[in-house]
Amino acid sequence: MHVNNSAESRSISVFTSKLTPAADICVGLAILSIAVLSVLGNGLVLLICYRRRKKMVSSELLCVNLAVVDFLCCICFYPLSILSSFHHMWLGENVTCVYYGLGCFIFGLCSMLTITAISIIRYLKTCYSWVYAVWLKGANIWIVCCGIWLVAVVWSSFPLFGWGEYVPEPYGLSCTIAWRRYHTSVKDAFYVICSFVFFTLIPVFLIVVSQWQILRKVSRFSYSLSTRGIRSNLHHAEKRLSMIFFCISLGFVIAWAPYAVVSFLFIFHKEHWYMAPGGFVFPTLFAKSSHIYNPFIYFYFNKTFQRELRCLLLSFCSKLGTNQVGVYSAMGHQAPYPIHIQLQERGCIQNENFPQDSIHTKSKDKATHTNSNLVQGRPVFTCWASTSKKAPNILVNKPPENSPPVSL
């Protein structure tokens, strides 16, 4: 009986927050902010990619894969951490801890491997274009994406079969791999060391080397063109694209570096008291922030995303019922009204013919009389028309054929 009580109290202490209640609420609000910004940003990225799915090139599938990873991670797992922070203890104890640790480790590996694949593919396209043209086609990119998910799921499942374990973080409000199990058995030590070597050190090395070679090649080529006085729009676009992926790779490495260092030091300490529990919070939150900045990088550097976002916002605003002003410009000298402005409620189909009773005459005392015409039950007003001195005061029934409407 005493043994059972001690085991239960130890389990409760493991899943209880080691922070103050105020700090727990701050952690919960921070994760909530990260989740909301990530869902909005990556949701917009996925929506824009869906709108231009027929125009996408094969290499952009990896960016879509990265957005899917960030979006799903914040939807499926972070709410549990947020609720646990507000309750000052991990909810669900061991079952939800395994669920959270397994899911976050899968998505973390997917992010790392996806960015590594992006860096390598950009390196091959920049430095060895013939390899990129022959091997890295659409079907092969799909194979790369499927391989990333397969490797992440298989390697993350090893702790379920005795190779490692998912346990709470030292501060009690998150779950991850039991890095301290390095000292317990050979299998756990093998899993922990391989996780660091093959999924942290080697990917970071490949990312850094690839991005360095890309920047070196692009800078040399830019210098050679500038010495000849040549300006190439294609090269400018390639340089901008290289900068996008450089910022994504650099940001991911910087975001995860503090957490990797703390976890690595945690391996070689049998007790975690070498650092206060609050010291583990900031590296964890900093690593979670990696979900946020990728959409901002896309929208800042990529003009295509800017244009699609602008069109998306305009199409959304058009459904709010605002008015539209159309300007018809007559191209011929015989047109009595060179410019004709039509005010139409947004959402209506523009009438091809101006109504005969829309606007009548402009008298000598400059008084005007206007009426309205209904298009699908909504009013369309012809609000102004310019005249020339010699033109008769008669309104033409329709604009010239070569005068398309210009939206203001």
pLDDT tens-digit series, residues 243-297: 888 888 888 889 999 988 888 887 776 555 567 777 789 999 999 999 998 888 8
Q: In sequence order, what are the residues at sequence separation of 6 or more whose Cβ sits closer than 8 angstroms to the Cβ of residue 51?
A: 308, 312
From 8-12, 222-226, 345-349, the region with the lowest mean pLDDT: 345-349
Distance of CA 131 to the CA centre of its chain: 29
Task: Indicate the range of 101-115, 158-172, 201-215, 361-375 predicted with least confidence.
Answer: 361-375
Q: Return the DSSP state at 5.
A: H
pLDDT (tens digit per residue) in 355-389: 444 433 333 344 444 444 554 454 544 444 444 44
H or E element at residue 374: strand 373-375
pLDDT recorded at residue 265: 80
pLDDT for 220 equals 80
- Residue 223 host element (H or E): helix 202-228
Tokens matching residue 311: 């069109």
pLDDT reading at 192 higher than 70: yes
Choose between 343 and 70: higher pLDDT.
70
Identify which of 108, 84, 114 has the alpha carbon closest to the alpha carbon of residue 96: 84
What band does 224 get if pLDDT is binned at 50, 70 and 90? confident
- Location of structure tokens 């060179």: 338
Spatial contact of 116 and 206, defined as CB atoms under 8 Å apart: yes
**Do 187 and 159 form a contact (C-beta atoms < 8 A)?**
no
3-state secondary structure 336-402: CCCEEEEEEECCCCCCCCCCCCCECCCCCCCCCCECCEEECCEEEEEEEECCCCCCCCCCCCCCCCC
Give the CA distances from residue 56 to residues 14, 311, 370, in Å, rounded to whole numbers and listed in that order: 48, 17, 49
* Confidence band of 302 (pLDDT split at 50, 70, 90): confident
Count Cβ atoms below 10 Å from residue 51 Cβ, excluding itself.
13
pLDDT of residue 231: 61
Residues 68-82 have a mean pLDDT of 94
* Across 340-365, average pLDDT: 43
84-131 pLDDT, tens per residue? 999 999 998 899 999 999 999 999 999 999 999 999 988 888 888 777
Structure confidence at residue 269 (pLDDT): 66
Predicted local confidence at residue 154, as pLDDT: 96
Q: How far apart are CA 304 and CA 299, in angstroms?
A: 8
Supply 74's token pair: 């914040």
DSSP 8-state code for residue 166: E
What local confidence, expressed as pLDDT, does residue 403 receive?
42
pLDDT at 395 over 50: no
Residues 45-68 pLDDT 10s: 999 988 888 888 777 889 899 999
**How far is the C-alpha of 345 from the C-alpha of 324, rounded, in Å?**
6
Position 178 scores a pLDDT of 85
pLDDT at 272: 52
| Least confidently predicted of 110-114, 135-139, 394-398 | 394-398
Is the pLDDT at 32 greater than 80? The verdict is yes
Q: Is the pLDDT of residue 325 over 80?
A: no
Q: What tokens appear for 6 in the block? A: 């001690």
Lowest mean pLDDT among 129-143, 193-207, 212-226, 358-372: 358-372
Rg (the chain; Cα; Å): 31
